[in-house]
Amino acid sequence: MSPTPQELARRLLPLLDLTSLNDARDDDIAALCAKAATPQGKVAAVCSWPDFAAEMAERLAGSGIGVAVVIDFPGGGSPAEAAAAEARQAVAEGATELDLVLPYRAWLAGERETARAQIAAVKSAAGAAVLKVILETGTFPGPKEMAEAARDAIAAGADVLKTSTGKTAVGATPEAAEALLGVIRETGGTVGFKAAGGIRSLEDAAAYLAIAERHLGAGWITPGHFRIGASKLLDAVLAALETGA
């Protein structure tokens, strides 16, 4: 039996990374953090630029909401030392989660060790912070290459595999979710998954929940394992919950 929109929305709310990544870096962090704790419940994390790590940490202190920042975003082409330094500074300012862009152009050009070295360097700098590696799956030829990159990311220290920056023509897709979640299953299910890039409706989100559940089971889908990064989805979730109420 399919869940009602209200049941789906209730399941999704604690899995959301409420995200704001304006290219001008003029994000309204006060409004974003205020929106993250709703009368219906809290999102998992707030995600923005590393410039705002300290402000987010201050505004979210004691809330239980994660402070997520993007690293080497959106291009993923910086030297490993530069990405690690950015990560180290963000953690020092209060970031608890780091969303690092895989050097996907280098990886696709055959420089897989370069990509692995950058992930490893940022993992070392991250300390206790959760490291999510953004594969930018929309740039990959197909699921075979997505899966290979996912294995490299896990081997280098990724805690979570993430589909997309949302800054390229193709964001999250069911095909990418199948590839990444298949690798997560084959490697024991300890690594998490984050769908991001163009997910706006309950129907969009439900598709990713269904894929994750098929690969790893309903019990695996918790904020520690499964996230959806979105700026608009929270509005749809709250609208469904308010209708149900």
CATH of the domain at 67: 3.20.20.70
In tens, the pLDDT along 94-149 reads 999 999 999 999 999 999 999 999 999 999 999 999 999 999 999 999 999 999 99
> Does residue 154 contact residue 132 with C-beta atoms inside 8 Å?
no
4-34 as b/e: b if 16+ CB within 10 A = ebbebbbbbbebbbbbbbeeeeebebeebbe
Arithmetic mean of pLDDT over the chain = 97
Segment 163-178 mean pLDDT: 98
pLDDT(1) > 80: no
Angle in degrees, 0-180, between the axes of helices 143-156 and 174-186, rounded to the nearest 10:
40
Helix (H, G, I), strand (E, B) or coil at 194: strand
Residue 2's pLDDT is what?
A: 86
In tens, the pLDDT along 183-195 reads 999 999 999 999 9
In tens, the pLDDT along 17-28 reads 999 999 999 999
In tens, the pLDDT along 203-231 reads 999 999 999 999 999 999 999 999 999 99
Helix (H, G, I), strand (E, B) or coil at 159: coil
Kindly report the pTM of this predicted structure: 0.97
Domains identified in the chain, total number: 1
* Active-site amino acid positions: 99, 162, 194
Contacts with 11 (C-beta within 8 Å, 6 or more apart), sequence order: 3, 209, 221
In tens, the pLDDT along 28-74 reads 999 999 999 999 999 999 999 999 999 999 999 999 999 999 999 99
Q: From CA 122, how far away is CA 76, in angstroms rounded?
A: 12
pLDDT(245) > 60: no
Write out the H or E segment, with its range, that includes residue 195: strand 192-196
C-alpha to C-alpha distances, 147 to 129, 133, 214, 244, nearest whole angstrom: 24, 13, 17, 39
Strand partners, 227: 194
Residue 11's pLDDT is what?
A: 98
Q: Which amino acid is at 104?
A: Y
Domain span holding position 42: 5-244
Q: What's the Rg (C-alpha) of the chain? A: 17
